[in-house]
């Protein structure tokens, strides 16, 4: 679909109540799809809203979200919309108001942007989404605030009674709600873990910008554009070894050769030339440079003629960039080429975020235990290597026992703020898995609670109170590697404000043989020598032998429906 701009002002009402009778009375907005609560998916669909009000029972929500309840509770969607509109009574009449249900697993900000732009373009009181079956979705729409208030004054109990006759509709692919256990199971099967991660990462605040020297900035991300402080080249220079000439030929050869880094004597007369080296500044009076191979000389070498007319092998001052030109946009990762460019542009300091700092903790009473039932830590070395490959500065943290207090201590304030804290293990739901309890103890906000992934699906991502991020990885070493390969690039980009690169897809020739029927699968792959890739089966997640010799890891969709995505 087109990506129109969002109107200047937007508010949102999200309906998150109801009894969910067809879902056995479960708290539907808290149900997980792609590791995210349905209520969080709805919130992520309105990231630019100036005000958001959630109508429903108390839940853990971001601080900026307002809360209310329909009166009486469970009085139906019209009463819920009215309760939300009452909270938004001060928004201007011409403000756009998104009205959304919190049971839409594939709703995106692009959907709401499209509805809002369409409403603004046609001037309709409301634009509702049409789902894939061409049915209007009364709880996926964008209203003009005044029109919503008018409709609420005359509406009855049904949402249909709220919709004015001149409402517009817009077909949007992927709009489907969750009503039954079968709907929820189907949504979970189709949830894309990469998309879920990207959406969850929008809730993370980038690190504060800082000033740093160019030579110390590798791995950071530009918080402000790189602008040239000096032109490049700073002077007219020879692009090739040859002759600097004045006027039209033939030319009389004069003076000593001009070398790079040295000033040449002026050419004071037309028809003269001087030998010049690549990178040397044109001497005063010279018009251009002709390369050696396009010059013929008399037998005594004193007079030169050109064998090709019109060529000018001069690199002119400012031909690459002028003072003030933007050489790299904000969001660009600082690599060796950017550092060299900055130095050539006369820039000594950059405004950056990062580089990412990560601390890796192992966990579990069994890891490193001297007893017969103890196991060796084989997960943290490859995870740390992956982090380093993604540009992180990695520290090895303390080993954490199976204790909520110990886990909470590692996530608490006695550590550098804003870092990525990686905990290997404690992400399951067994008797010894206490990471969720530790996150609740410190007031962290859980963003991802598991993904439809094998191996590595038992993972947690949480926003820590100080602005840092917790990445909890499965305790088995292959699961830890798979989870890190999938999650770290997205988290890094969010924390440093980097512009994500385009995904790289691989043609995995035997994908059907390794694909899971319902879940996404991480597999090691190697090139087949003919442009394709061959996958290897993972024989055990408890040891890393299956990854030996793998060129990269690929994410294979369920039932091999679609292309595999390269992870590292």
Question: Is residue 166 scored above 60 in pLDDT?
Answer: yes
pLDDT score, position 26: 74
Question: Is residue 3 scored above 60 in pLDDT?
Answer: no
Q: In this predicted model, which residue has the larger pLDDT, 278 or 370? A: 278
* C-beta of residue 442 within 8 angstroms of C-beta of residue 493: no
Question: Is residue 21 scored above 70 in pLDDT?
Answer: no
Q: Mean pLDDT lowest for which of 20-29, 443-452, 497-506?
A: 20-29
pLDDT digits (tens, 9 = 90+) for 430-440: 888 999 999 99
Question: Is residue 423 scored above 90 in pLDDT?
Answer: yes
CA distance 87 to 162: 18
Q: Which CATH architecture has domain 357-496?
A: 3-Layer(aba) Sandwich (3.40)
pLDDT score, position 460: 96
Note if the bond before 355 is cis, omega within 30 degrees. yes
CA distance 152 to 87: 14
Residue 249 CB-half CA count within 13 A: 25
Domain ranges in the chain with CATH number 3.40.980.10? 357-496
Nearest to 494 by CA among 517, 469, 459: 469
* SS3 call for 74: coil
pLDDT score, position 24: 63
The label of the residue with tokens 């499965």 reads 474
Phi, psi of 149 (to 5 degrees): -65, -40
Query: Given pLDDT bands bounded at 50, 70 and 90, which one contains residue 537?
Result: confident
* C-beta of residue 555 within 8 angstroms of C-beta of residue 511: no
pLDDT digits (tens, 9 = 90+) for 284-337: 999 999 998 899 988 777 888 888 777 899 999 999 999 999 999 999 999 999
Q: In this predicted model, which residue has the larger pLDDT, 72 or 67? A: 67
Strands 314-315 and 237-238: antiparallel
Count, residues in the chain? 568
Q: Please list the residues that pair with 565 across neighbouring strands.
A: 505, 555
Query: How far apart, in Å, are the Cα atoms of 101 and each of 39, 128, 129, 246, 448?
Result: 9, 12, 12, 76, 20
pLDDT score, position 238: 95
* SS3 call for 375: strand
Domain ranges in the chain with CATH number 2.170.190.11? 237-315
Domain ranges in the chain with CATH number 3.90.550.10? 10-191
Q: Is 246 exposed, middle or buried (0-12, 13-18, 19+ CB in 10 A)?
A: buried
pLDDT score, position 1: 37
Nearest to 561 by CA among 504, 503, 502, 516: 516
Residue 174 CB-half CA count within 13 A: 12
Which one is the CATH code of 10-191: 3.90.550.10, 3.30.1390.10, 3.30.365.10, 2.30.110.10?
Answer: 3.90.550.10
pLDDT score, position 546: 93
pLDDT score, position 131: 86
Secondary structure in 3-state letters for 2-30 = CCCCCCCCEEEEEECCCCCHHHCCCCHHH
* Mean of the per-residue pLDDT values of the chain: 90
pLDDT score, position 179: 84
Which one is the CATH code of 237-315: 3.10.450.50, 1.20.1090.10, 2.170.190.11, 1.10.510.10?
Answer: 2.170.190.11
Averaged over 453-465, what is the pLDDT? 93
pLDDT digits (tens, 9 = 90+) for 107-157: 999 999 999 999 999 999 999 999 888 889 999 999 999 999 999 988 777
Question: Is residue 202 scored above 90 in pLDDT?
Answer: no
Q: Please list the residues that pair with 390 across neighbouring strands.
A: none
pLDDT digits (tens, 9 = 90+) for 354-405: 999 999 999 998 887 777 677 899 999 999 999 999 999 999 999 999 999 9
* C-beta of residue 253 within 8 angstroms of C-beta of residue 273: yes
Query: Given pLDDT bands bounded at 50, 70 and 90, which one contains residue 195?
Result: confident
Query: Given pLDDT bands bounded at 50, 70 and 90, which one contains residue 511?
Result: confident
The label of the residue with tokens 């997640």 reads 541
* C-beta of residue 464 within 8 angstroms of C-beta of residue 470: yes
CA torsion sign for 384, 389, 391, 393 is positive
């Amino acid at each position: 679909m087109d990506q129109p701009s969002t109107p200047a002002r937007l508010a949102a009402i999200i309906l998150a109540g109801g009894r969910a009778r067809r879902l056995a009375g479960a708290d539907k907005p808290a149900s997980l799809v792609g590791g995210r609560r349905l209520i969080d998916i709805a919130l992520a669909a309105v990231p630019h809203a100036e005000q958001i009000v959630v109508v429903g029972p108390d839940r853990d929500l971001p601080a900026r979200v307002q809360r209310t309840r329909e009166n009486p509770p469970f009085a139906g969607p019209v009463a819920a919309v009215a309760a939300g509109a009452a909270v938004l009574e001060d928004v201007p009449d011409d403000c756009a108001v998104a009205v959304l249900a919190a049971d839409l697993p594939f709703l995106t900000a692009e959907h709401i942007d499209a509805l809002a732009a369409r409403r603004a373009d046609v001037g309709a009181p409301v634009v509702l989404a049409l789902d894939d079956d061409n049915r209007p979705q009364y709880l996926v729409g964008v209203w003009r605030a005044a029109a919503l208030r008018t409709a609420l004054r005359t509406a009855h109990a049904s949402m249909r009674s709220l919709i004015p006759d001149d409402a517009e509709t817009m077909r949007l692919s992927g709009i489907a709600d969750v009503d039954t256990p079968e709907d929820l199971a189907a949504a979970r099967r189709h949830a894309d873990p990469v998309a879920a991660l990207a959406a969850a990462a929008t809730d993370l605040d980038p690190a504060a910008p800082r000033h740093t020297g160019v030579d110390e900035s590798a791995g950071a991300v530009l918080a402000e554009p790189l602008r040239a402080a000096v032109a490049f080249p700073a002077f007219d220079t020879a692009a090739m070894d040859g002759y600097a000439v004045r006027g039209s030929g033939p030319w009389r050869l004069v003076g000593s050769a001009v070398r790079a880094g040295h000033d040449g004597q002026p050419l004071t007369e037309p028809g003269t030339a001087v030998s010049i080296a690549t990178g040397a500044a044109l001497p005063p009076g010279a018009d251009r440079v002709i390369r050696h191979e396009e010059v013929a000389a008399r037998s005594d070498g004193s007079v030169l003629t050109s064998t090709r007319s019109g060529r000018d092998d001069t690199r002119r001052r400012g031909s690459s960039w002028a003072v003030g030109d933007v050489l790299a946009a904000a969001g660009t990762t600082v690599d060796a080429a950017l550092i060299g460019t900055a130095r050539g542009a006369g820039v000594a300091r950059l405004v950056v975020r990062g580089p990412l700092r990560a601390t890796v903790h192992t966990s579990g009473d069994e890891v490193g235990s001297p007893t017969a039932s103890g196991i060796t830590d084989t997960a943290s070395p490859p995870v740390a290597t992956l982090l380093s490959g993604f540009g992180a500065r990695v520290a090895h943290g303390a080993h954490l026992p199976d204790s909520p207090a110990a886990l909470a201590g590692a996530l608490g304030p006695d550590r550098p703020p804003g870092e990525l804290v990686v905990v290997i293990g404690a992400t399951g739901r067994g008797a010894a898995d206490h990471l969720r309890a530790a996150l609740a103890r410190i007031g962290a906000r859980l963003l991802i609670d598991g993904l439809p992934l094998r191996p590595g699906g038992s993972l947690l991502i949480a926003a820590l109170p100080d602005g840092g991020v917790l990445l909890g990885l499965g305790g088995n070493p292959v699961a830890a590697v798979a989870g890190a390969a999938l999650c770290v690039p997205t988290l890094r980009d969010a924390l440093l404000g980097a512009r994500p690169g385009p995904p790289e897809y691989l043609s995995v020739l035997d994908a059907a043989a390794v694909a899971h029927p319902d879940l996404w699968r991480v597999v090691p792959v190697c090139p087949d020598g003919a442009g394709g890739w061959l996958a290897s089966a993972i024989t055990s997640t408890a040891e890393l032998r299956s990854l030996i010799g793998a060129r990269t890891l690929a994410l294979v969709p369920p039932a091999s429906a679609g292309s595999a995505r390269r992870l590292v």
